[in-house]
């Protein structure tokens, strides 16, 4: 049973996983099990190149960022379970007992974070009732989002990135994933605001 299972290995999903992974030394996180279904085939980063993203070298390819983020997570936070080569087909159940079914396996999770793109081909059974037209995208592109209030779709269901209604920009997507992670950390900390920061100070 995962305490949280992230669906999607793009910017927002990986950002969420990295923040949650970095908090593992906090007492209220030590017994938590975090997983990410790192499906990246349809990520918009596959065709991206960056010149205007804070902290990213000019000319960096999005495809490189995808590969490096997986390795980064594995190296620094191996306690975060990475599930690769699987696509989510269905989400069933309710908080705190969800079943996430992929094309190969099924997983139990207390909470889920949906962090995949905003294409109108979205077809995860059990979540389609939450789909609505994207409020910030160009109407002609027919993008979609999941109905949410500050990233929360329903009890135990969160959404991040463009699917949460944000515009397609690397920094925005990363911040959205981090925001969801801090909300989850706060929940685990009995509602007391909590974040995870790295520091050169001891």
pLDDT given for residue 47 in this prediction = 86
Nearby residues of 151 by Cβ (< 8 Å), 6 or more positions away = 158, 159, 160, 164, 176, 179, 180, 183
Closest CA to 97 of 112, 82, 116, 83: 112
- pTM for the whole thing? 0.95
pLDDT given for residue 161 in this prediction = 96
Give pLDDT < 50 ranges for the chain.
Answer: none
| Separation between Cα atoms, residue 101 and residue 57, nearest integer Å | 37
């Amino acid at each position: 049973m995962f305490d949280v299972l992230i669906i999607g290995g793009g910017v927002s999903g990986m950002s969420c996983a990295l923040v949650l992974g970095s908090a593992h030394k906090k007492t209220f996180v030590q017994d938590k099990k975090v997983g990410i279904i790192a499906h990246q085939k349809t990520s918009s980063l596959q065709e991206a190149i960056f010149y205007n993203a804070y902290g990213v070298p000019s000319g960096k390819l999005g495809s490189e960022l995808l590969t490096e983020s997986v390795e980064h997570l594995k190296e620094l936070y191996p306690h975060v379970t990475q599930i690769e080569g699987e696509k989510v087909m269905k989400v069933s159940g309710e908080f705190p007992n969800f079943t996430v079914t992929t094309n190969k396996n099924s997983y139990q999770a207390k909470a889920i974070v949906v962090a995949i793109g905003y294409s109108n081909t979205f077809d995860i059974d059990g979540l389609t009732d939450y789909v609505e037209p994207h409020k910030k995208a160009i109407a002609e592109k027919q993008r979609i989002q999941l109905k949410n209030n500050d990233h929360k779709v329903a009890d135990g269901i969160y959404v991040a990135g463009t699917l949460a209604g944000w515009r397609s920009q690397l920094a925005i997507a990363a911040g959205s994933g981090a925001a969801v992670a801090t909300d989850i950390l706060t929940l685990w900390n009995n509602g007391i605001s909590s974040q995870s920061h790295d520091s050169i100070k001891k």
